[in-house]
Chain A
Amino acid sequence: MPSIALLAPVLLPLLAAGVITAFGLGGFNLGRIAAGAGAWAALLALLVVWLPLRSTQELDLGQLGFGSPFQLRIDAVAFAFGLMVLVPAALVLTLQRRSWQAAALGALGVAAAVGAVEASSVVLTALAGGTAATLAVIQLDGEDIRAPRPKWGMLLAAWLALSWAGVILQVRGGTAAYAAVPVSALTPPVFALIAFAGLLASGLVPWRSWPAQVWSRPSLRAAGLVVATLYPLGFYLLVRSYEMGDGRYPHIAFQAVLATWGVVVALGAAARAQSAATRRGFLGEVIPGIGGFALMTVALGTPLGLVAGLITLAFAAAMTGCLALLPDRGGPASLVAIAAAVGLPPALGFGARILGIESTFEAGDFFGFIGVGASIVWVVWMVAGARATGLPAGRGRPAPETSPRVAMAVAVVTLVAGPALAVIQSAYANPAQADVMPFPAGAVSGGLTSMVTVSTVLPVVALFVPLLIIAVLAFGAARSSLIRTQPRPPLFTFPWTGAIDRLRREVASASLPEQYRSLLDLRALESAAAGGRPLVWLASLAALAFAVTR
Chain B
Amino acid sequence: MEPELLLGSTLALVLAVVFAPPRAPRANLLTWGLLGLAGMAAIAIAPTLDLIVLILLVLAVLQARLASHRDFATRLRAPVLAVVLLALGLALERMQGPVVLDRFGAVGIVAGLAAAVGLLPYAHEFDPEESLVASPIPWIAFVGPLLAAAVVSRASGVVAADAGDAFGAMLIGLGLLNMLWGAVGSWRTENDAAAWRYSFMSDWGLALCGFGLAIADGRAAALIILFSIVLGRLPLYLWSRQALREKVPTDRPINLVVAAVLAGSAPFAGFPARVLLLRGATQLYWPLALVLAAAMLLWLPGSLRLGRSMGVPRGRQAVGVAIVLALNVLLGVYPQPLLTLAGL
Contact = CB atoms under 8 A, between A and B. Distances in A.
| Chain A complexes with chain B | yes
Nearest to A167: B279
A548 B266 contact: no
Given A65-B336, A534-B81, A138 B257 contact: yes
Given A65-B272, A138-B256, A161 B278 contact: no
Contact of B339 (A65, A126, A156, A545): A65
Contact of B104 (A105, A530, A531, A545): A545
A487 to B, nearest CB: 35
Nearest to B102: A548
B185 interface: yes
B179 to A, nearest CB: 14
A548 B103 contact: yes
Interface string B18-29: 000000000000
B293 A64 contact: no
A137 B245 CA distance: 28
A152 interface: yes
Interface stretch (B35-43, B49-57, B122-130, B206-214): B122-130
Nearest to B276: A66
Interface in B73-95: 74, 77-78, 81, 85
Contact of B217 (A67, A123, A142): A67
A545 B106 CA distance: 9
Contacts of B103: 548-549
B3 interface: no
A64 B278 CA distance: 17
Contacts of B104: 545, 548
A312 interface: no
A269 B181 CA distance: 40
B279 A170 contact: yes
A548 to B, nearest CB: 4
Interface string B238-263: 00000000000001110011001001
Nearest to B308: A145
A537 B115 contact: yes
A168 interface: yes
A529 interface: yes
Interface residues on A, range: 35 or more
A540 interface: yes
A354 interface: no
Given A130-B271, A138-B260, A541-B85, A64 B300 contact: no
Given A130-B266, A544-B170, A530 B126 contact: yes
Contact of B256 (A62, A133, A141): A141
Contacts of A129: 266
Interface in A19-57: none
Interface in A448-467: none
Interface in A144-177: 145, 152-153, 156-157, 159-161, 163-164, 166-168, 170-171
Contacts of A128: 266-267
A130 B304 CA distance: 17
B110 interface: yes
A126 B275 contact: yes
A223 to B, nearest CB: 16
A145 B251 contact: yes
A522 B338 contact: no
B121 A134 contact: no
A144 B180 CA distance: 31
A394 to B, nearest CB: 26
A65 B266 contact: no
Contacts of B111: 540-541, 544
23 contacts: A64-B272, A64-B335, A66-B272, A67-B279, A70-B334, A142-B252, A152-B304, A153-B301, A160-B278, A167-B278, A170-B279, A171-B282, A529-B120, A529-B121, A531-B125, A532-B74, A532-B78, A532-B123, A537-B78, A540-B121, A544-B111, A548-B103, A548-B163
Q: 5 closest pairs, A vs B, by CB?
A: A130-B266, A532-B125, A65-B336, A540-B121, A65-B335
Given A127-B332, A529-B121, 16 more contacts: A64-B333, A64-B335, A65-B334, A66-B279, A67-B217, A126-B266, A141-B253, A163-B275, A167-B282, A168-B282, A532-B78, A536-B121, A540-B111, A540-B121, A547-B170, A548-B170
Interface of A: 62-67, 70, 101, 105, 112, 123, 126-131, 133-134, 137-138, 141-142, 145, 152-153, 156-157, 159-161, 163-164, 166-168, 170-171, 522-523, 526, 529-532, 534, 536-537, 540-541, 544-545, 547-549
Interface of B: 74, 77-78, 81, 85, 100, 103-104, 106-107, 110-111, 115, 120-126, 163, 166, 169-170, 173, 181, 185, 188-190, 194, 217, 220, 251-253, 256-257, 260, 263, 265-267, 271-272, 274-276, 278-279, 282-283, 286, 289, 293, 296-297, 300-301, 304, 332-339
